[in-house]
Amino acid sequence: MAERAWPRLAAWSEDPKSSAILTDIDGTLSPIAPTPAVAFVPDELKELLAKLHKKYLLVAGVSGRKTEEARELVGIEGITYFGNHGFEVMREDGEVEVIPEALPYMENIEELETLAREELAPLGAFVEEKGITASIHFRNVPPEVGEKCVAFAREHGERLGLRVTVGRGIVEARPPIKTDKGTAVRTLVEEHKPKRAMFLGDDTTDLDAFRELEKMRDEGTLEEILRVGVKSDEGPPEIVSEADIVADGVEGVGEVLRSLL
The residue among 256, 235, 236, 234 whose CA lies nearest residue 244 is 256
Amino acid 33: pLDDT: 82
As a whole number, mean pLDDT of residues 36-46 equals 91
The residue among 76, 82, 10, 79 whose CA lies nearest residue 45 is 76
pLDDT band at 95 (very low <50, low <70, confident <90, very high): confident
Whether 135 shows a pLDDT value over 90: the answer reads: yes
As a whole number, mean pLDDT of residues 111-129 equals 95
CA dihedral 80, 234, 109, 133 (to 10 degrees): 0
Decide if 69 contacts 83 (C-beta within 8 A).
yes
Q: Can you give the pTM of this predicted structure?
A: 0.85
Whether 202 shows a pLDDT value over 90: the answer reads: yes
pLDDT band at 37 (very low <50, low <70, confident <90, very high): confident
As a whole number, mean pLDDT of residues 236-243 equals 95
Amino acid 3: pLDDT: 63
Whether 1 shows a pLDDT value over 80: the answer reads: no
Decide if 67 contacts 87 (C-beta within 8 A).
no
CB atoms within 10 A of CB 161: 11
Catalytic-residue membership of 203: no
Q: Which is higher by pLDDT, 33 or 243?
A: 243
Task: Give the sheet arrangement for strand 96-98, strand by strand.
Answer: 96-98, 88-90, 80-83, 58-62, 19-23, 196-201, 224-231, 245-248
Whether 67 shows a pLDDT value over 90: the answer reads: yes
Amino acid 93: pLDDT: 80
pLDDT band at 238 (very low <50, low <70, confident <90, very high): very high
Q: What is the mean pLDDT of the chain?
A: 93
pLDDT in tens, 145-182: 999 999 999 999 999 999 999 988 999 999 999 899 99
- Three-state SS for 74-140 is HCCCCCEEEEHHHCEEECCCCCEEECHHHHHHHHHHHHHHHHHHHHCHHHCCEEEECCCCEEEECCC
Name the helix (H) or strand (E) containing 250.
helix 249-260
Amino acid 34: pLDDT: 80
The residue among 24, 76, 19, 8 whose CA lies nearest residue 182 is 24
Amino acid 2: pLDDT: 58
Residues contacting 83, CB < 8 A, separation 6+: 63, 64, 65, 66, 67, 68, 69, 70, 89, 90, 96
Map residue 242 onto helix, strand or coil: coil
* Domain 2-99+179-260 CATH assignment equals 3.40.50.1000: yes
Amino acid 234: pLDDT: 83
As a whole number, mean pLDDT of residues 104-133 equals 94
Q: Where in the chain is the domain with CATH 3.40.50.1000?
A: 2-99+179-260
Amino acid 137: pLDDT: 94
Extract long-range pairs of 70-74: CB within 8 Å, 24+ residues apart.
70/25, 73/25, 73/30, 73/39, 73/40, 73/41, 74/25, 74/29, 74/41, 74/46, 74/49
β-bridge mates for residue 129, sequence order: 134
Q: Where in the chain is the domain with CATH 3.30.70.1020?
A: 101-174
- Out of 24, 180, 202, 203, the active site residue is 24
- The Cα 256–Cα 233 span in angstroms is 20
What φ, ψ does residue 91 adopt, rounded to 5°? -95, -165
Whether 129 shows a pLDDT value over 90: the answer reads: no
CATH code of the region 101-174:
3.30.70.1020
Question: Out of 8-12, 191-195, 210-214, 254-258, which region has the weakest mean confidence (pLDDT)?
Answer: 8-12
